Amino acid sequence: MLDLHRLRLLREVHGRGTVHAAAAALGYSPSAVSQQLAVLEREAGTPLLERTGRNVRLTAAGEVLVTHAITLLEGVEAAEADLATLAAGRAAGPVRVSAFQSAMLRIVAPAVRDLAASHPDIRVEVTEAEVEVTAPGLRLHQFDLVIGDEYDDQPRVLHPDLRRERLLRERLQVVLPAGHPEARAARVSIGRLAGLAWAACQPGTGQRAMHLRVCRQFGGFEPDVRYSSDDFRILLEMARTAGAGALLPDLALDRRDTGLAARPLAEGPLGREVFLLTRPARTPAVEAVAAALHAATPRLDA
């Protein structure tokens, strides 16, 4: 009899590529995972993994077994969700959501508030993280819904096996201190800000790549990025107190902040799409949370 717990370990190793990565994701030691996989191989009666340098890959038998493991584990998850729904008389059970910071503040938090009233038997668990980190976890059932973003001309890796829905499209804004001369303009040309110090996200992020591309492509200059943070609130504070400029989407802005001016770019309606990823098969609880996220999304479409 094959053990579901060990099948879950096999699925994690397959999805993450190494025993160490799977162990870290599940909170086990690598030796404990290796021991359990050795037991699974004895149960299966054939080798399931083979080493390739520091990584491991599935044998032909391992590929067959992991395909069945995914189906079995999805069936168990669906059964647990159905039982929870029957016991509660409505959508129930845990639902795990991940989102980047501004979506967490403007979409997820209001949705969680509303779900507490409309679906009290759904336990919503929330993690702040970027989509490139959490999309693999969605496939591996560590998350049920993932909110991601995609800037213009910077397409994300496609996820043909996942269901993608648009939440909103928003514009990019040039954020300046309220006293900056360009803050009086209705639209700001990026080329007029070549001498400005800038605040942007860390290298390697989509926002930083967008910032560099916009300044280079539309302004013809290399931006002087002096302040780096993945927290948009810190970038706004550096604009307010240090006189920096920033390129931020609508969702990150608070229009009540009188110390800052946010202006659209004169070069065109540049922006980003915020989207929702789920697995194709969705339980009633996941459907309820997805509907709440759509309902809580501000109407900022540009």
Q: What is the pLDDT of residue 244?
A: 96
Q: What is the mean pLDDT of each run of 10 residues along the chain (302 residues)?
A: 79 80 79 83 84 78 82 74 66 91 96 96 94 86 94 83 93 94 93 96 93 95 96 95 95 84 90 94 92 93 53
Q: What is the pLDDT of residue 302?
A: 52
Q: What is the pLDDT of residue 121?
A: 92
How far is 294 from 199, CA to CA, in rounded Å? 30
Q: Class assignment of domain 170-270?
A: alpha beta
What tokens appear for 227 in the block? 């302040």
Q: Are 298 and 221 in contact (CB under 8 A)?
A: no
Q: 4-16 and 19-26 are packed helices; what angle lies between their axes, rounded to 10 degrees?
A: 120
Q: What is the pLDDT of residue 185?
A: 92
Q: Per-residue pLDDT tens for 178-212? A: 999 999 999 999 999 999 999 999 998 899 999 99
Q: What is the pTM of this model?
A: 0.77
On the question of a common fold for 90-168+273-296 and 170-270, the answer reads yes
What tokens appear for 234 in the block? 């810190």
Q: What is the pLDDT of residue 26?
A: 73
Q: DSSP alpha helices (H): ranges in the chain? A: 4-16, 19-26, 30-44, 60-88, 101-103, 109-118, 131-139, 206-214, 232-242, 284-296
Three-state DSSP at 2 gives: coil
Q: For the domain covering 4-83, report its CATH number.
A: 1.10.10.10
Residue 189 vs residues 139, 160, 262, 267: alpha-carbon distances, Å = 42, 38, 13, 6
Three-state DSSP at 12 gives: helix
Task: Give kind and range of the element (H or E) at residue 274.
Answer: strand 271-278
Third-level CATH fold of 90-168+273-296? D-Maltodextrin-Binding Protein; domain 2 (3.40.190)
Q: Per-residue pLDDT tens for 39-88? A: 888 888 888 888 777 777 888 888 888 788 777 877 777 777 677 666 66
Sequence spans of domains, the chain: 4-83, 90-168+273-296, 170-270
Q: What is the pLDDT of residue 88?
A: 61
